[in-house]
Structure 1
Amino acid sequence: MKLSRFTAYMSSLLLAGAFALTGAATAQADQPADQRAAATGYVALGDSYSSGVGAGSYDGSSCKRSSRAFPALWAAANSPSSFNFAACTGARTGDVLANQLGSLGAGTGLVSISVGGNDAGFSDVMTTCVLQSESNCLARIDQARSYVDSTLPGNLDKVYDAISAKAPSARVVVLGYPRFYQLNGSCTAGLSERERAAINDAADYLNSATAKRAADHGFAFGDVTRTFTGHEICSGSAWLHSVNWLNISESYHPTASGQSGGYLPVFTAAA
C-alpha cells in the first residue's frame, strides 16, 4: 500500500512537471516570431542584395550598406536587442566566412543571408550578355549553371555550417534572387527575349540550388520571385535597375522599392 502511494505521488510530480514544461513551450510558441527575434540579436550577412546596393542612402563604407535595405528596415521596425549589419557588396561565400561572422554568438536569435550570385559569376554573366553576342551570352550562362551544379553547393555548406556553429540558437533565413526580366514586356531594345529568358531561368536555377542547401541545414528560404513579379525590368513598374552607365555598380540591383516591397515582406514572413 505504501509503495502504491509513493508511486502515485511520484507520478503526480512527473505529470505536474510535464504540464509545466508543456505550458512554457506553448507560451513561447504563441509569441509572434518577430517578438522572439526582437528579444535577441539580429545579424545580417551576405552580398549586395542584402547590403542594399541600388537603394541609395549608403553608410559611406566600401560595403555600400543602405538604410533602405531590408535588414535595416526590419531592424528599425522590430527593435532587436542588437543589430549587426555585416553584408557587403561583392561578397562571395569565402568573404562571408572570412569577414562577416564575427558578430555571431550564442545570443544571436536571427540571421539573414543572401550569397551565391557572385560565386556563380553574376556580374560577368550580365557584362557578357550586355556587351557581347547572344551566343556568347548563352554560353556564359551555361558556364554559370555548371558552377551551380559542381561547386556552389559545397561553398554554401561551409557558410551554413559556420553560421550554425557560431549561432546555434539562431533562426536563419536565406534570401534568394529575383528574376530580372518581364518577358514580352515594354523593352524595345537591348537583350533579345531569348537572352532575357535564359537569365531568368538561371536565377531560378540558382534559387533552387540555394533553397535545397538551406533546407538541408534546417534554414528557411525566402523566395522573392513572387513579390517581384510585375516589377521586373521591362514591366513598366520596375523594382530593379537596368543598366546604369553612370553608376554601373547599381545595375541589376533592387531599388529602394525593391528592398521594401520585394525583400522586406518575404524576410518578415520567414523571420
Structure 2
Amino acid sequence: MRPTAILLSLFLPITLGQVIQGGWTAFGDSYAAGIGAGNKHASDTGDCRRRANAYPNQVQTDGSLAGGMNVEFSFQACSSAKIAEVQSQIATFRDGPEQLRGFATISVGGNDAGFSEVIEACLVRAKFGSPSCDSVIEAKTAAVKSDDMRQNLEDAYRAILDAAKAPGKMITSFRLVVTGYARFFNEETTDCNNKHISFWGLLEPNKQYLTVGRRQALNKLVTDMNEVVKAAAETVSKESEFGQVVFVPIDDLFEGHRFCEPGATEPDNKNPNTWFFLLQGRD
C-alpha cells in the first residue's frame, strides 16, 4: 500500500482529542507496517518491512500530536503478522516503558482472513497448482464470518487495553485506534475485463481476468472483514471501563486510487495514482 498524508485527516482528530501521556505504539500487520510505502524505517531490523511512509510513521512525523515530533513512538507492526502473532507485539508493549502508552493503533486480521491466499489464487497465480479462485473466496469468506475471527480480534483488543493498565502503571486513560482495510479494485469500470496480473504472464494457462464480477467478489471479502473488525472494536469499547476502542474506516479515502480505475492500464507497477503495489512493483 502507498498511504499518503490524507490518512492523517482521520487519525489526528481522534488522537488530538486526548492528552498523550508521553508517547504511543503502533501494532499490526503489513497495512500498519507500510510494505511498499517508501524507504526502510529505522526500527526495521528484520523481516517486518516497516516503511517510512507507513501511516503510523506519518502520524508520528506530522508534528500535530501534543509535543510534536518529540512524542515517543514504538513501531511494532510487522508484515505478515496474524492476530496470534500480534500478541508478541503486545508483550513488548506491556513490558516496555510506560511513556509509550498514550494511545495505540492497530491494523490486523487480513492475514487471518487469508488475503494473500486469495490474491494468489484469484490474481497472481505464481505457484503451480494454485486452487480455484471461487473455492478460496468461499473458504476465506467463511473464515472472516466465523465466531473465531471476531473472538480473536476482541481478545487482541482486550489484551492491548489490559497491557496499557498493567499493575503499577500510572496511565489513567487510553485509546486504541483500530483501522479497517481498503478494497483493492474499482469494480464499476469495464476497462479491466480483459486484463490480468498473472505472475507468469502469457505462460499462465489459467489466467484470472479482472472482470467486474471478479473484482466485486474480491472487494466483498474486504467489506465483510471490515464489518467484523468494526463490530469487534465496538464490543470491546462498550465493555471497557478503562479505555476506548475506536474504529477508523479508511476505505473511502482510496476512492480513485484502486486497481482498475478508469483509463488505467493494468498491470502497471509505476502508476502513482494507485495506492497499492504489485508483486513485482517497487517497494
**Do Structure 1 and Structure 2 share a fold, with TM-score over 0.5?**
yes
- For the pair shown, the structure with the greater C-alpha radius of gyration is 1
Identity of aligned residues (%): 30
Q: Is the 8 A contact 2:27 2:89 kept in 1?
A: no
Structure 1 residues 177-212: Cα deviation after superposition (integer angstroms, max 9, x where no partner): 001000233434012221111010110000000100
Tell me how far 1:69 sits from its aligned partner. Answer: 0.7
Q: Could you tell me which of 73, 77, 83 is aligned with 1:83? A: 73
Indicate the residue corresponding to 1:260 in structure 2.
none
- RMSD across aligned positions (CA): 2.5
1:245 aligns with 2:251: no
Report SS of the residue matched to 2:102. strand
Q: Distance in 2 between matches of 1:194 and 1:230?
A: 19
Q: Is the 8 A contact 1:37 1:110 kept in 2?
A: no
1:52 aligns with 2:78: no
Cα gap change, 1:37/1:87 in structure 2, threshold over 3 Å: closer, same or farther?
farther
Give the number of the structure whose residues are more often helix, by fraction.
1
Structure 1 residues 212-271: Cα deviation after superposition (integer angstroms, max 9, x where no partner): 000111111111111011111111432112x33366xx6xxxxxxxxxxxxxxxxxxxxx
For structure 1, the 5+ residue unaligned runs are: 1-30, 251-271
Q: Could you tell me which of 208, 220, 241 is aligned with 2:246? A: 220
Q: Could you tell me which of 157, 163, 171 is aligned with 2:175? A: 171
Give 1:188-199 correspondences, 5 Å limit: 188-190=194-196, 191-199=210-218
> Which residue identity lines up with residue 117 of structure 1 in the other structure?
G
Q: Could you tell me which of 114, 133, 137 is aligned with 2:133? A: 137
- Greater than 3 Å deviation, 4+ residue runs: 35-39, 104-107
Report SS of the residue matched to 1:173. strand
Indicate the residue corresponding to 2:109 in structure 1.
116
Indicate the residue corresponding to 2:93 in structure 1.
103
Q: Could you tell me which of 105, 120, 125 is aligned with 1:127? A: 120
Q: Could you tell me which of 84, 89, 92 is aligned with 1:94? A: 84
Q: Distance in 2 between matches of 1:118 and 1:167?
A: 25
Indicate the residue corresponding to 1:67 in structure 2.
52
Question: What TM-score do the two structures reach when normalised by structure 2?
Answer: 0.70
